[in-house]
Structure 1
């Protein structure tokens, strides 16, 4: 490696940060790698937090992303339990919350996202959120014995996963959603309503078009004065990218760290920042495959982006061409016995067609079309139908070609 790249700092010790550190080593970087993590834990897998771990089927050691020996062999300086407090681009220096600083030649920002909160949320002991391992263990303690009334505020993926797990543990569960259907942001109104109906068939009360006024000692108070009584409340109203520590950095921040196609960060005047990249939930970048700017909060993209960011740090130092990250977004969610898989994008004005199976059967494939092209695809309990659609999205298939493919299923 060139002499200019002696130390790379990875800010964030979750999946994207781990993949970045591993890629630096796998690509032959023999300089210093420092990983900063706000949590005291080494990188762990987040999807089980609302499912297997919350249900008590797994313990925390089961969700570690690597065995202890593998973490040690990576030859990384782990700085855990301390968060980043500021970034000085001119001095190439990272400021930490414990008062220390770390100079760098290359930097990968992978600080993820933070839960959105309701006013005065922290003063209520029965109110929970779910983002970290510690969050999951606290909520698990509260619902493990069943018999509680659990109110989940927000019918996104985390909210519905928590609702399903809580119901399976023998709790009464009510989901409160401000939109007209669950999962509108991820699946659109029609398909979101279909998933909501599946929850109701399994004993979850799903209430849409309701507005929360405030939290209450005895539950949740709605606009209009209705009190939804509950002894356990889970707030799942989405996340916000963890960029608060970058406010004075000079980076362009707009619902995330704004980056180009190669994941390289930009200053707020639009100029590219040498050697500074981002990955994971904190990243907003121009996806060249879709021709649109996006920020994605899902496992697969975090893993891939961490690796691409690391390779591009090394490429920039070596004077080589950078790699663009043009990917088909992919996510999955397990709720009760419902396996949801989605490829591509879903927008409110997309044309949606169920092209195989049926909603009533609980197994189906739906396609999303936009401007004459295939835009996305949803599979419910249909992994063999959904996964081949990735090739069509990579090929930027027309809507007609996608429907012709569906006719062969």
Structure 2
């Protein structure tokens, strides 16, 4: 029993009231955000009956995420982070309310929906790096890894529960209700942010312009360990994220109906289920000092799982394919926890916001580039070769990166006080 308890997530950070309020609020607000994630493409499709317009949601979301993710990180290093978190949270809430208003009013304008999506994503781009950058200011140094594991668990829970709830709710209520529920649930986070202490910048008088954004990239380029944490994640996501293949695999490999049905749902849920399990059973993660090695091993496991997934799909064995996705999702959680911890612990506080901005862009943009590479590869060599071959490239790529940047493999966290 004691051994099992040691495997469960370390909840020590929840003893800090400010962090606990943010974390608890995050449970409901992440689920609410997923309702909007489902509602937006659904509304776009219902207005246009065109998958091309639905594809535009990716463009309208990615561009502001890149621009405001980077700028938001610079802002987080220049102004009080509590104030910035408050403004961006209100902005997200107001745009959610606007989504609800246009749906209730029956405006039926697809461009209005896309513009609202872009505006909300811009506020999210500011909010996310700020939220991450405050963790070392709220918690002791040695609790940062545990806090990141807890945050990952909440995100994955929302990614699984939110879409399921949306699907169930749409059976008896309107799409506009999803937007309204998201808006109401955001009030929990707003309350938690209002109760945060002041979090002024550690370097006064700093600006948040293009020069400061570029300074963040220069800082990153000069610190091999931090740079490597981004490089290996790009390798894992661009070469090894096969989700663009799921619709075709559901039909061609597993004999599902044209809409994919339950099979498609299982494929999309596989990685999330494993990632959630990885967060729940993350109790041993904070005790690992060789975090660079842990990231390399976790990404190699991710790559091997994608090889297994591709081969299992080629053989038409659904349960084995989903199992490989789940194990890969757990490995991805381990990688994400350590990469985010390295960024927060190895970087100076006056650049944490900008580095978290880059982190937000890479984490969100990498899988979208993976969609492009896998879609193109499948058109040339088929889905099985695209998925399995991508996994092989991940393993080769992460080994090459480790050899090219040995400082990352040698990186060892040293416990210290403060942040």
* TM band (smaller chain): under 0.3
> Normalised by the size of structure 2, how large is the TM-score?
0.27
Q: Return the index of the structure with the highest Cα Rg.
A: 1
Higher relative contact order (CA 8 A, sep 6+): 2
Q: Give 1 or 2: higher strand fraction.
A: 1
Higher helix share: 2
TM-score by length of 1: 0.27
